[in-house]
Amino acid sequence: MAVLPIVEVPDPRLRAVSTPVEAVDDDVRRLVADMTDTMYAAHGIGLAAIQVGVEKRVVVIDLQAEEDAEGKPVRVPQAYINPEIVSVSDELSVYNEGCLSIPEQYAEVERPARCRVRWLDTGGARHEEELDGLLATCMQHEIDHCDGILFIDHVSRLKREMLLRKLAKQRKAG
């Protein structure tokens, strides 16, 4: 497949609300494959289609939590088409989040610890599952992308401005 260019802040496309996928077809499956290749090439664990400039509600995630006998991450990519959060827990958790569209910038973000999510797979089958831990955080982060929301929108204005200044300085130096 192909590695696609990742859209980075301040590109206004990252603020677009993505449209639902009408039919899970070969074009969508090709997009999923390209997004997966792109996510791996960028050493990410999640990617929304809008991050590669496609305004569709498509997300790929692979936490790569397990390692094989040689110590390499076991890749088990998952595609979520038209993902939607059905419910969230009252319990909250905090993770130090980063984003491929805001390279090398991280901040602690508080989100619900668990969420129930509904989506379609690449075969068009409907799924609904309760997610927790890092997978719940990652899913909420990627669904936020589908809604034009970035992780820096969940931190204070001061922290957000500091992260964006650091990114600008990094770009200028590099």
Q: pLDDT tens digit string along 127-155? A: 999 999 999 999 999 999 999 999 999 99
Domain-located, residue 160: yes
C-alpha to C-alpha distance for 36 and 40, rounded to whole angstroms = 6
**How confident is the model over 70-82, as pLDDT tens digits?**
888 889 999 999 9
Domain-located, residue 49: yes
In the chain, where do the E strands start and end?
46-48, 58-61, 78-88, 92-99, 102-112, 114-120, 126-132
C-alpha to C-alpha distance for 13 and 49, rounded to whole angstroms = 11
CATH number, domain containing residue 65: 3.90.45.10
* pLDDT tens for the chain, residues 1 to 174: 799 999 999 999 999 999 999 999 999 999 999 999 999 999 999 999 999 999 999 999 999 877 888 888 889 999 999 999 999 999 999 999 999 999 999 999 999 999 999 999 999 999 999 999 999 999 999 999 999 999 999 999 999 999 999 999 999 997
Q: How many domains does the chain have?
A: 1
Domain of 130 in residue numbering reads as: 12-173
Between the alpha carbon of residue 24 and those of residues 19, 31, 116, the distances in Å are: 13, 11, 22
> Annotated active-site positions, please?
142
Domain-located, residue 4: no
